[in-house]
Structure 1
Amino acid sequence: MERIRVLLADDEQLLRTGIRLVLQHAEDIEVVAEAGDGGEAVELACRMPLDVALMDIRMPDVDGMTAVEQLTRRVPALKVVMLTTFGEPGYISRALRGGATGFILKDTGPQELIQAVRAVARGGAVLSPRITKDLINRYLATDDDAAGRLVSTLTAREREVLVQVGLGASNAEIARQLYMGEGTVKTYVSRILGKLGCDNRVRAAIVAHEAGILPAG
């Protein structure tokens, strides 16, 4: 079984230890590197193969926000999830614009954290439920009519794929749900992002929500 290789970046040693203990209970996840600041995390990511980085926001020298922007440029295949106690809209906005594929709070439960790592490794995006509503209301600021107009430019099949993206499904999960090849799903997602003017799946999910195309509940 191929393991998901994880980097932990947090300036608190005790917290890194706790996260590592949580993740080691998952047979398919391995913490292969740790860093005490963002600069160290970037250098490690440039030297070794990694799949997911869990990144704190407030760290000495190079903070997590700056680090995720550098990682997006230097290691674009790496999935970065912000793991923090700070859920302010400004942090969320900068993290997602910088290239993060997830934003979760440190009080997230152990199983939720494990599932989040798996989801982003498969190409999905994750948001802490506690900040999702605030993100929708304040981050993208897309009104219902504008979102509806954007979604109306999609084909029926593209709309089906967007619904799955809005539900947080990975490319592999979308492929199974819609009976498509995973490569075909990637092509659809890329096309949808272009039509909606979104540069990541999280923004596309918000457009889907604002357009009212997601199933109730």
Structure 2
Amino acid sequence: MIRIVLADDQAVVRDGLSMLLGAADDLDVVATASDGSAAVDAVVRWTPDVALVDLRMPGLDGAQVTAEVGRQAPDVRVLILTTYADDDAVLPALRAGAAGYLTKDTTGEALCSAIRTVAAGGSVLDAAVQQRLVALVGPPVPAPEPDIPDGLTTREVDTLRLVAQGLSNQQVATRLVVSEATVKTHVNHLISKLAVDGRPALVAWAWRHGVVH
């Protein structure tokens, strides 16, 4: 059972999401919160698998909640929900350690799937959020060929391309016919070799440098 703390300042949204997630056999909302401080308190108290956090809340916003969760309950994975993908707090939330970022127009099925992915150690980025990240890091490098630095293996480049297209580690493993552990190793090597700050920044790097179009 995946245990969830749900934080949103709108009661109707909290109630709706609680009903939606509660209908899934493997998801359990153990606590809800209406502001950022209460969200952190609930996470520390209940130590859920996933904290589903609204980006804009009274007190602490989603990025600040993510940072506090990282300090006080580092094993809890944070999945951000927001109304607008172009919110200026997109990048701060991901830099703070959010494992995923979805807009509120996502489907219930996609939300449940995202929670399962994040709980399993994966990352989820809404397509609109990926586009926003690319915009934040700047325009693509104009080059006829991908701007790939020396030191990356062919397998690492293949992994980078698939990750940047939004595939999960499991999907990348299936595509490349390797184990999921091998994909995780490639991703960690890519983050280290490219000196980027986590998987979201890795995705942005790939788009900016023409690895994917």
Shorter-normalised TM-score: what interval?
A: 0.7 to 0.9
Instruction: Tell me the equivalent position of 1:210.
Output: 208
Task: Give the superposition deviation at 1:145.
Answer: 5.8
Instruction: Tell me the equivalent position of 2:137.
Output: 140
Instruction: Tell me the equivalent position of 1:19.
Output: 17
User: One-letter code of the match for 1:144?
Assistant: V
1:41 aligns with 2:31: no
Task: Give 5+ residue unaligned stretches, structure 1.
Answer: none
Q: Distance in 2 between matches of 1:152 and 1:122?
A: 32
Q: Which has the higher helix share?
A: 1
Q: Select 1:98's aligned residue among 78, 96, 99.
A: 96
Instruction: Tell me the equivalent position of 1:198.
Output: 196
Query: Aligned-residue CA RMSD in angstroms?
Result: 2.5
Map 1:68-147 onto structure 2 (within 5 A): 68-137=66-135, 139-141=136-138, 143-144=140-141
TM-score by length of 2: 0.85
User: One-letter code of the match for 2:68?
Assistant: Q
Quick one: structure 1 residues 181 and 44, their matched pair in 2 at CA, closer, same or farther if it must change by over 3 Å? same
Contact between 2:147 and 2:211, CA under 8 Å: does it hold in 1? no
Instruction: Tell me the equivalent position of 1:31.
Output: 29
Deviations 1:128-162 (A, max 9, x none): 3334323312x222642699445543111111221
Quick one: structure 1 residues 168 and 129, their matched pair in 2 at CA, closer, same or farther if it must change by over 3 Å? closer
Higher mean C-alpha displacement, 166-175 vs 89-98: 166-175
User: One-letter code of the match for 2:69?
Assistant: L
User: One-letter code of the match for 1:140?
Assistant: V
User: One-letter code of the match for 2:193?
Assistant: K
Contact between 2:6 and 2:32, CA under 8 Å: does it hold in 1? yes
Instruction: Tell me the equivalent position of 1:171.
Output: 169
The count of corresponding residues between Structure 1 and Structure 2 is: 212
Task: Give the superposition deviation at 1:118.
Answer: 2.2
Q: Distance in 2 between matches of 1:65 and 1:186?
A: 25
User: One-letter code of the match for 1:20?
Assistant: S
Quick one: structure 1 residues 89 and 11, their matched pair in 2 at CA, closer, same or farther if it must change by over 3 Å? closer
Instruction: Tell me the equivalent position of 2:52.
Output: 54
Contact between 1:151 and 1:159, CA under 8 Å: does it hold in 2? no
Quick one: structure 1 residues 197 and 150, their matched pair in 2 at CA, closer, same or farther if it must change by over 3 Å? farther
TM-score by length of 1: 0.84
Quick one: structure 1 residues 29 and 98, their matched pair in 2 at CA, closer, same or farther if it must change by over 3 Å? same
Contact between 1:122 and 1:172, CA under 8 Å: does it hold in 2? no
Higher mean C-alpha displacement, 175-184 vs 61-70: 175-184
User: One-letter code of the match for 1:115?
Assistant: S
Instruction: Give percent identity, aligned residues only.
Output: 37
Quick one: structure 1 residues 111 and 179, their matched pair in 2 at CA, closer, same or farther if it must change by over 3 Å? same
Task: Give the superposition deviation at 1:83.
Answer: 0.8
Task: Give the superposition deviation at 1:19.
Answer: 0.8
